[in-house]
Structure 1
Amino acid sequence: MPGHENASLSASRPLRLSRAAGFPSLQALHRFARPVLVIMPALGLVLGLAAGVAGHGPWSGLIWAVATVPVLVVLIVEIVGSLRRGDVGLDIVAALSMTGALVFGEHLAAVVVALMYAGGQYLESFAERRANREMTALLGRVPRTALLHRDGRLEEVPLDVIAPQDRLLVRQGDVVPVDGLVAKGVAVLDQSALTGEALPVRKRSGEPVMSGVTNVGDAFDLSATHRAAESTFAGIVRLIEVAQRSKAPMTRLADRFALAFLALTLALAGVAWLWSGDPVRALAVLVIATPCPLILAVPVAIVSGVSRAAKAGVLVKGGKVLETLTRVRTLVIDKTGTLTHGRARIVEIRPMAGLSSDRLLQLAASLDQASKHVIAQALVAEARGRGLDLLPPTEVEEIPGEGLEGCVGGRRVIVGGIRFVSWRVPRVGAVAAGQHPAGSVVVAVAVDGAPAGLLILADPLRTEAAQVIGSLRRLGVTRIILATGDRREVAQAVTVGLHLDEVHADLTPDRKIAIVQAEKRHGPVMMIGDGVNDAPALAAADLGLAMGARGAAASAEAADVVLLVDELDRVPGAIGVARRSKRIALQSVYAGIGLSVLGMIAAGLGYLTPVQGALIQEAIDVAVILNALRALWGVEPS
């Protein structure tokens, strides 16, 4: 929708909604440290092997030990942090393996384990970094200033200096920066990002305007009534931040196996040591037990799934999100811009005076070429989409927000609202007195002083909506709820035949959050929306999915998944990709752990040394990684 890309205008500060907001230095440290931690053991492994080949064997162990220590130190720091939060992960096994290998002089085994651990961590964070880069580019278009009337001139100023009573100029396409009143002119506003109303509304002098809506008509003056930090949009931003802080953190798939595998590993290592009296046997068990199938195979499969989804136009913000996508059982979905396209389209043409439908549309659209009004542009687009030849209009007179009059092909044409046209051609009022669809806009047309017909515009349901709902049901989504800020009669009329479980209308952002929270008792909840008013609910849901192609950047930032194409049918496909990736990851985990357990038993019985165990573990790693890469191809049918 025009201007939606700017609808995440922050009230008084940049919008910071990401999970790690407020810690830029820590993020920068991680971006720098992850690749370094992979390079160091990889380089150490190569240099140590080269030293051995060159006849400097004693140096090999030292090089491998030095390359292992930085990874081990970082790992211990992360383990301490995890334990303070009450998390027990597989990282403990990797730390014990590296420590034991260094203590008992098995330096080659230590550096191999360090390389596998660092590589797995790097892969696991790869998808999240990629998603963050995409979102940074998306939010880079957000405006931070407004045009202020000052001393007879227009001055561009930061939003935080705007005070009540200041007079601002809101240009066509601008997002209204603060709450205020129309001071001069007629404001034609796209309020769908905040209220869910798909069709523009007109505001006359003295009428209130909310921040965050988009001016789709001519420029108008706004008299500010609130500071930016106190305006409507700022309140929504605060709701988003509260919802994100209260949202339960997502868990890694690999960590669900952590405690059991850790206990089994320590038990086997302890038994091997006690039974043989040789601590090296326990070390061999720990080395071959290093959970590389979990550390590597799971992130490879998940990152592959994230990449596969991105190729289909679905931006998934990391592996944890992809895993959550597989468990969704309830869907809460917005209407405007989600189940519908979010823009006006002709749904009916009622011609008169012997005109055909195409001829009526041709005359109206030809005249509307002279107008920038969003409804006029919708008529022009519809006519061109039907292949109609538009004639050049002449002698055009327009009253902004009302209608226009002019000559088209030698005929006098009037196009606009019923009141505007009937004021010039009184009989139009009687013609337009019939029934019209709920939430529609009626454009009246008069030709040569006589009523010529009506053009009915509305925001219709997407053609694929029913199919998408059916596909989601087959994928195990048991409850589907509509939650919209639009009027109830409009919501009910549009969704007839969709077989939704519940329809909630006239909702404010905080009431949408309440619905999402209430639905969590039925299982993990996914919220789909596109407007600024959807962003708090997107943040509060177990998984938020934003229509990013046309939706507000605030909703795209608050969401976990963003559709980069304006096609709702990508949602079942994304769930299919997520489930296939998880299934492949689990296959790799079960096969890898099974082979590792067999190797641990062999090591405990003395048949494998620590280095042999490390090499066997590498063979297992290669096998499970090759299997995990299958997630790059194919998609689960919906």
Structure 2
Amino acid sequence: MTAPFQDRMKIALLAIALVGLLTGLALSLTGFAQAASIAWSAGVIPVLAALLIEIVRSLRAGEVGLDIVAALSMTAALVFGETLAAAVVALMYSGGTFLESFAEGRARREMSALLARVPRTATRHRDGALDEVPLEEIEPGDRLLIRQGEIAPVDGTVESARAVLDLSALTGESLPARLERDGEVMSGATNAGEAFDLRATRRAADSTYAGIVRLVEAAQKSKAPMARLADRYSLAFLAVTVVLATAAWWFTGDPIRAVAVLVVATPCPLILAVPVALVAGLSRAAHYGVLIKGAKPLEALARINTLILDKTGTLTDGRPKIVSVERHGELSENDVLYFSAALDQASKHPIAQAIVAEARARGMALPVPDDLVETAGEGLAGTVDGRRVIVGGIGFVARQAERPGWDHHFREPGSVVVAVSVDGALAGHLLLADALRSGTGALLAGLRENGIERILLATGDRRAVAEAVTEGLGLDAVRSDLSPDQKVLLVLSERKNGPVMMVGDGVNDAPALAAADVGVAMGARGAAASAEAAEVVLLVDHLDRLLPGLEVARGARRIAVESVVAGIGLSIAGMCAAAFGYLTPVQGALLQEVIDVAVILNALRALRIHPRTHPSTGQNADNKGKPLR
């Protein structure tokens, strides 16, 4: 059955139970006791029939649920003439299932909003005109017009001078992001400024937003392991209920006490509280840019005590940045950067793009180079402002400038050296490195405050590089020179210390992500394979999103457990009171209704989880102000 049909059935059963109860009460007050009993029974039978059908389906699937208690209580009440109690139980049960459905719908609100925002068409530039085309027709390289208030339909880069984007639906960041020309735009971002042109880099089906939607749909179909745990222990609870009801009848000779016990035990708060709290946790985590693929990984995330981090693209930005500019002649450091960046405008190599980005960040106006010659993978030669410039590796620059005697050892672990010669003389060199993400030390301290006992680095890089990058971070271990299968072995070996979380972004990380108890992928720029293998996806390349994700998961699980313990405790107390004759079946039914409503409302507290401010970071994970990095 489809979800809308099931929802309509729940509403119909609730209406039947309510009409039957109210009609019977009206008839009873006017002196028609027999007719009142018939009306109450008429309101119970459809609910009981639907419940029995659901129980049969569960049994065929090998599941024994706590709904059996509800069926027993309604049947016993009808058999022993307690039709009013049966009507209250029927209303309670149908109302509880409807309230559960309503609560889960509210909990999924933010996640479902992602689905509702999927754009269907886009405005494309073509032959000097604008055409409205379906998303399926957009190809990489197409230039699209994104009007104010519209949603970016595909991933791309800014073609206009600038763009102002609202990323709140994707990341939870309240402040708009300002992007300059060539800035990367995630699909799903809303244009909060003037209209701008977007150059598509991916098809719609391959874009960030489409992947997020697929993950949301998968998350909404999951079933919580605590719910399965409830099913597993339902036989024990059922046995306790039947034994207590039978004992009350046996020792007192009054079957009504047994009916009262069964009524108070229906339905167990485990049925309601766990899924509501965990689905609410999924919604809350999505608000902070942490997409968890279901309730099972959310609960697993709440129990993690070992964290394994990949290096490139995870612990580091994955993009080279200029660490220093050194001069070796008469030119200044800015001149060295100026000439190298001007020439590198002609190259698409990541190193060249990093040099150009640094020059533009310093406000340099770069001229167009002439007489360009690029040697793939080695460097470029050309003319800038009438001067002969060569940029590339030390060996390449030495050969091109015919200065074989150059022999400089500028390299540091994990760095790249770019030499620059101007008019045949070595002008200087630029040192680039894959820099550690800003605030990483504070982030790791915050994770330890949240119960992570061990933090390790797992990388395929050389040990000298790994140690240079992680110096001062206080990691428990650094594992270097690892192949993908060795990363898997590391994950498996660490399980002896407890549940393991692995964070990575590359294709080579996918096996380890799948092997971990919880795999976390960097979703914005990470490989599709890692996002598919992982249970958790960070929607932006902000590693600090682990903090709110971890806090939300632990908060949701804590709330679920609190709801269950409180609900079961109150139910058992009520069952004992009914066994000793202090509660009639009707009073027991009303008491259990109050208990069920209370545990559901308590479970919905997971929608209001606010990650606390970490003393180690000085920032709140809610990101109401500046992002953490």
The 1:539–1:403 alpha-carbon spacing in structure 2 relative to 1, beyond 3 Å, is: same
For the 8 Å contact 1:121–1:295, the answer to whether it is kept is no
Q: Distance in 2 between matches of 1:128 and 1:552?
A: 27
Shift in Å, 1:314: 0.8
For the 8 Å contact 2:291–2:536, the answer to whether it is kept is yes
For the 8 Å contact 1:516–1:540, the answer to whether it is kept is yes
For the 8 Å contact 2:245–2:257, the answer to whether it is kept is yes
For the 8 Å contact 1:72–1:114, the answer to whether it is kept is no
Q: Distance in 2 between matches of 1:136 and 1:342?
A: 33
| 1:401 and 2:377 matched | yes
| 1:42 and 2:6 matched | no
Q: Distance in 2 between matches of 1:137 and 1:508?
A: 40
Structure 2 equivalent of residue 69 of structure 1: 49
For the 8 Å contact 1:132–1:317, the answer to whether it is kept is no
Structure 1 equivalent of residue 291 of structure 2: 315
The 1:585–1:487 alpha-carbon spacing in structure 2 relative to 1, beyond 3 Å, is: same
Q: Distance in 1 between matches of 2:228 and 2:105?
A: 14
Give SS of 1:436's match: coil
Trace 1:61-100 onto structure 2 (pairs within 5 A). 61-83=41-63, 90-97=66-73, 99-100=75-76
For the 8 Å contact 1:351–1:452, the answer to whether it is kept is yes
Trace 1:201-212 onto structure 2 (pairs within 5 A). none
| 1:454 and 2:418 matched | no
Which one of the candidate residues 400, 407, 419 is aligned to 2:395?
A: 419
Give SS of 2:558's match: helix
Q: Distance in 2 between matches of 1:354 and 1:137?
A: 57
Listed one character per residue, the Cα deviations across residues 243-301 of structure 1 (whole Å, up to 9, x for unaligned) are xxxxxx94448628756644443332222222333434323222221244322233332
Q: Point out the more displaced range, 609-618 or 331-340.
A: 609-618
Listed one character per residue, the Cα deviations across residues 38-79 of structure 1 (whole Å, up to 9, x for unaligned) are 334334334435655887854553244214422432234224
Q: Distance in 1 between matches of 2:484 and 2:225?
A: 24
Q: Distance in 1 between matches of 2:503 and 2:525?
A: 13
Structure 1 equivalent of residue 277 of structure 2: 301
| 1:330 and 2:313 matched | no
For the 8 Å contact 1:328–1:524, the answer to whether it is kept is yes
Q: Which one-letter code corresponds to 1:48 in the other structure?
A: G
Structure 2 equivalent of residue 512 of structure 1: 487
| 1:487 and 2:424 matched | no
The 1:622–1:487 alpha-carbon spacing in structure 2 relative to 1, beyond 3 Å, is: same
Q: Distance in 1 between matches of 2:115 and 2:529?
A: 10
Give SS of 2:542's match: coil
Trace 1:192-591 onto structure 2 (pairs within 5 A). 250-252=225-227, 255=230, 258=234, 261-427=237-403, 431=406, 433-591=408-566
The 1:279–1:328 alpha-carbon spacing in structure 2 relative to 1, beyond 3 Å, is: same
Q: Which one-letter code corresponds to 1:110 in the other structure?
A: A
Shift in Å, 1:119: 5.0
- Percent identity reads 53
For the 8 Å contact 2:338–2:364, the answer to whether it is kept is yes
Listed one character per residue, the Cα deviations across residues 570-617 of structure 1 (whole Å, up to 9, x for unaligned) are 212222222222222333223222322232223223343434323222
Shift in Å, 1:351: 2.2
Q: Which one-letter code corresponds to 1:413 in the other structure?
A: V
The 1:431–1:391 alpha-carbon spacing in structure 2 relative to 1, beyond 3 Å, is: same
Give SS of 1:328's match: coil
For the 8 Å contact 2:103–2:604, the answer to whether it is kept is no
Structure 1 equivalent of residue 93 of structure 2: 113
Trace 1:602-617 onto structure 2 (pairs within 5 A). 602-617=577-592
Q: Which one-letter code corresponds to 1:420 in the other structure?
A: F
Q: Distance in 1 between matches of 2:430 and 2:49?
A: 74
Q: Distance in 2 between matches of 1:137 and 1:537?
A: 33
Q: Distance in 2 between matches of 1:384 and 1:273?
A: 85
Between the two structures, name the one with larger relative contact order (CA 8 Å, sep ≥ 6).
Answer: 1
Shift in Å, 1:311: 1.0
For the 8 Å contact 2:319–2:350, the answer to whether it is kept is no
Shift in Å, 1:569: 1.5
Q: Distance in 2 between matches of 1:331 and 1:517?
A: 12
The 1:527–1:434 alpha-carbon spacing in structure 2 relative to 1, beyond 3 Å, is: same
Give SS of 2:381's match: strand
Q: Which one-letter code corresponds to 1:38 in the other structure?
A: K
For the 8 Å contact 1:306–1:319, the answer to whether it is kept is yes
Q: Distance in 2 between matches of 1:532 and 1:30?
A: 36
Q: Distance in 1 between matches of 2:375 and 2:90?
A: 79
Q: Distance in 1 between matches of 2:236 and 2:332?
A: 74
Give SS of 2:581's match: coil
TM-score, normalised on structure 1? 0.69
Structure 2 equivalent of residue 166 of structure 1: none
Listed one character per residue, the Cα deviations across residues 103-139 of structure 1 (whole Å, up to 9, x for unaligned) are 555244134224424654786699799979979999x
Q: Which one-letter code corresponds to 1:274 in the other structure?
A: W
The 1:465–1:396 alpha-carbon spacing in structure 2 relative to 1, beyond 3 Å, is: same
For the 8 Å contact 1:346–1:458, the answer to whether it is kept is yes
TM-score, normalised on structure 2? 0.70
The 1:442–1:435 alpha-carbon spacing in structure 2 relative to 1, beyond 3 Å, is: closer
Q: Point out the more displaced range, 360-369 or 114-123.
A: 114-123
Q: Distance in 1 between matches of 2:113 and 2:78?
A: 38
Shift in Å, 1:98: 5.0
Q: Distance in 1 between matches of 2:228 and 2:334?
A: 58
For structure 1, list consecutive stretches of 5 or more residues without a partner in the other structure: 1-28, 141-172, 174-248
For the 8 Å contact 2:18–2:43, the answer to whether it is kept is no
Listed one character per residue, the Cα deviations across residues 559-578 of structure 1 (whole Å, up to 9, x for unaligned) are 12111121111212222222
Q: Distance in 1 between matches of 2:374 and 2:115?
A: 41
Shift in Å, 1:313: 0.7
Q: Distance in 1 between matches of 2:578 and 2:68?
A: 20
The 1:637–1:37 alpha-carbon spacing in structure 2 relative to 1, beyond 3 Å, is: farther
Q: Distance in 2 between matches of 1:128 and 1:556?
A: 21
Q: Which one-letter code corresponds to 1:580 in the other structure?
A: G
Q: Distance in 1 between matches of 2:407 and 2:99?
A: 69
Q: Distance in 2 between matches of 1:425 and 1:448?
A: 8
Q: Which one-letter code corresponds to 1:390 in the other structure?
A: L
Structure 2 equivalent of residue 594 of structure 1: 569
The 1:301–1:461 alpha-carbon spacing in structure 2 relative to 1, beyond 3 Å, is: same
For the 8 Å contact 1:98–1:113, the answer to whether it is kept is no
Give SS of 2:96's match: helix
Listed one character per residue, the Cα deviations across residues 428-481 of structure 1 (whole Å, up to 9, x for unaligned) are x65562141223222221222221211122212222222222222222222222
Q: Which one-letter code corresponds to 2:45 in the other structure?
A: A
| 1:624 and 2:596 matched | no
The 1:368–1:467 alpha-carbon spacing in structure 2 relative to 1, beyond 3 Å, is: same
How many residues align? The count is 498
For the 8 Å contact 1:405–1:413, the answer to whether it is kept is yes
